[in-house]
Structure 1
Amino acid sequence: MLQKFDERNRDLIVNINGQLVHRDKAGISPFDSAVQGGDAVWEGLRLYKGRIFKLHEHLDRLERSAKALSFAEIPAREKIMEEIKRTLAANKMRDGVHIRLTLTRGAKITSGMDPRLNQSGPTLIVLAEHKAPVYAKTGLTLITSKMRRPPPEVLDARIHHANLLNSILAKIEANNAGADDALMLDTRGFVAETNATHTFIVRNSDKSRASGDLATSRVVACPEGITRATVIEICAAEKIRCVETDLSVVDVYGAEEMFCTGTMGELAAVTKIDNRQIGDGKVGPMTKRLSELYAKRTVAPGFLFIRNAAGPVLEGFEVLRILLVIFLMIIFSGPKLHRRENFRDDRLFKFAGERELLF
């Protein structure tokens, strides 16, 4: 699987510490910690029809990772959200967008590993691209990498850091083998994740009802995935049994279905690993079912908004819902509605205290 260049991204505007610049002119200091030692944390976000999915869960993880690395300063959440908004506005983006959010320890006064040399605050980078989910929906091919994920006593995977050499080496193995990605094990020989995504397997399936038991690796040598957590939430809501446990490659080989999860690729089926076919070699019914349920969550209404005259007309249900909310608020003197304009002159309405971000 090799991503292709999207012509819409040729003239991207990138945000570096609040400065909006063309992608060809963007740059950071050679003294920045990301350059000197991969000393940074990051998040991948997705924009669906003006709404960033699980925004605050991602920002929570970013902050936890920065605290774990003892960053002396972390930008306020409101500041980060504002810079994301400015970047999307500058690029006139609203849907089908992937955002790479990176926070480095910042520039050093001189080369060196010591964090005390970082005396000018962190560097915040917002890179938004037009990017559809990157994995083919027809099924992925994996190999098992020789590279192992380190245990927590070496480097805790819950720190979402930007030093990705361990994953890059595994990806090189996959490329050389003609596979899409590489499955990575921990030092005990149990499944951690792939070089880029979390994994789930399906056992005891009933294809006629798209049912079965799901299993995924424990968070020991893999990070706390946001998409992974969403799938687990869906399973709980749909009463699908899902366990977090130690899985070996033998468990994977014997699975009836397998799929990967991640913000950049959403849910993607795995149909072959180490030249062994998974199930019948096709995208399974449980994978399809969960993909559909996940897609519904990404567009679930979190805000009420009305487009301007040039935009599409709201469906009848949305209009009725808006009128009902306004009516109830007038009658019961409920929370006030705040009104503002976005970069496309859309009229946006949201409840006071609402935490999500809409562009």
Structure 2
Amino acid sequence: MFDSAKALAFNNVPDREEIKGAIFKTLMSNGMFDNAHIRLTLTRGKKVTSGMSPTFNLYGCTLIVLAEWKPPVYDNSSGIKLVTATTRRNSPNCIDSKIHHNNLINNILAKIEGNVANAGDAIMLDKDGFVSETNATNIFLVKKGQVSTPHADYCLPGITRATVMDLVRKENIVLHERRISLSEFHAADEVWTTGTMGELTPVVMIDGRVIGTGEVGPITKQIQNAYKVLTTETGVPIPKHVEK
């Protein structure tokens, strides 16, 4: 978020401690201490008049903390199906996808294609036809015991993605970050996606092609378990709520 705010020339961005305080205050005020999902939105703040120029936002940034009870988004036990969308992921020539922003029309159109096909999500390609990510998550494949994930040139390099890449290396599994064609995903031994809400989700079918055996693969399970251990043992504790 800080990098995106810098790229968008935001001024008076709240610091990390202020944002943490706002998150904790929201959670404690609503009694949300477990199974809650938090979405942070940072705007330029109140304008003095209409217009596109950021110079009209004279009152500093506004931070919105949206906390909600969120059931599991994906089936992380049996896996999900994906389809490939016709809508492409934005190129850095247009809107750099490394900027985390609310202009998600491409992703929404891809998700609609996924919904029509009764799929969990939709794979999005870059302008050259290589796999970028899905409409909501990053994506990995396993082939002959090695893991590959697309370069983050056309997608948001997610925090969960980076965490999983570190876990793959710590599990002594070879990891490649490279251009990957769609046919490689069709022929993969295992595929999974990563994201904040879904964590690590197995993929058992893409575009009607069964992935591997059609069941969650051994390396996927290995990394899922490593991720579960990591998230159980680390994190920032929520201050205890004191009743008045």
Q: Same fold (TM over 0.5)?
A: yes
- TM-score (normalizing by structure 2): 0.95
Give the secondary structure class of the aligned counterpart of 1:121: coil
Larger radius of gyration: 1
In the TM superposition, residue 285 of structure 1 has moved relative to its aligned partner by 1.3
2:219 is the counterpart of 1:280: no
Give the secondary structure class of the aligned counterpart of 1:148: coil
Structure 2 residue aligned with 1:227: 160
Aligned residue runs from structure 1 range 66-85, under 5 A? 66-85=5-24
Aligned residue runs from structure 1 range 179-218, under 5 A? 179-204=119-144, 212-218=145-151
Aligned residue runs from structure 1 range 167-186, under 5 A? 167-186=107-126
Give the secondary structure class of the aligned counterpart of 2:39: strand
Give the secondary structure class of the aligned counterpart of 2:65: strand
Which of 129, 132, 154 aligns to 2:94? It is 154
How far apart, in 1, do the equivalents of 2:237 and 2:56 lie? 47
How far apart, in 1, do the equivalents of 2:236 and 2:24 lie? 16
- Count of aligned pairs between the two proteins: 242
How far apart, in 1, do the equivalents of 2:43 and 2:50 lie? 15
User: Gapped runs of 5+ residues in structure 1?
Assistant: 1-61, 205-211, 306-340, 346-359
How far apart, in 2, do the equivalents of 1:216 and 1:289 lie? 17
* Residues 71-113 of structure 1 deviation map (CA, whole Å, 9 limit, x = unaligned): 1220121111111010010011222111101101122222222
Which of 99, 122, 136 aligns to 2:75? It is 136
In the TM superposition, residue 131 of structure 1 has moved relative to its aligned partner by 1.8
Structure 2 residue aligned with 1:343: 241
How far apart, in 2, do the equivalents of 1:222 and 1:214 lie? 18
The one-letter amino acid of 1:343's match is H
* Residues 126-164 of structure 1 deviation map (CA, whole Å, 9 limit, x = unaligned): 011122431012111111000111211212111111111
User: Gapped runs of 5+ residues in structure 2?
Assistant: none
How well do the aligned residues superpose, as a CA RMSD in angstroms?
Answer: 1.7
Distance 1:220-1:302 versus aligned 2 partners, 3 A rule: closer
Structure 2 residue aligned with 1:163: 103
Give the secondary structure class of the aligned counterpart of 2:233: coil
The one-letter amino acid of 2:225's match is E
Give the secondary structure class of the aligned counterpart of 1:150: coil
How far apart, in 2, do the equivalents of 1:285 and 1:134 lie? 22
Give the secondary structure class of the aligned counterpart of 2:102: coil
More off after superposition, 296-305 vs 139-148: 296-305
- TM-score (normalizing by structure 1): 0.65
How far apart, in 1, do the equivalents of 2:47 and 2:123 lie? 36
Structure 2 residue aligned with 1:352: none
Runs (4 or more) in structure 1 with deviation over 3 Å come to 301-305
* Residues 242-274 of structure 1 deviation map (CA, whole Å, 9 limit, x = unaligned): 110000101101101100000110001111111
How far apart, in 2, do the equivalents of 1:253 and 1:301 lie? 35
Structure 2 residue aligned with 1:145: 85
Aligned residue runs from structure 1 range 50-129, under 5 A? 62-129=1-68
How far apart, in 1, do the equivalents of 2:229 and 2:48 lie? 48
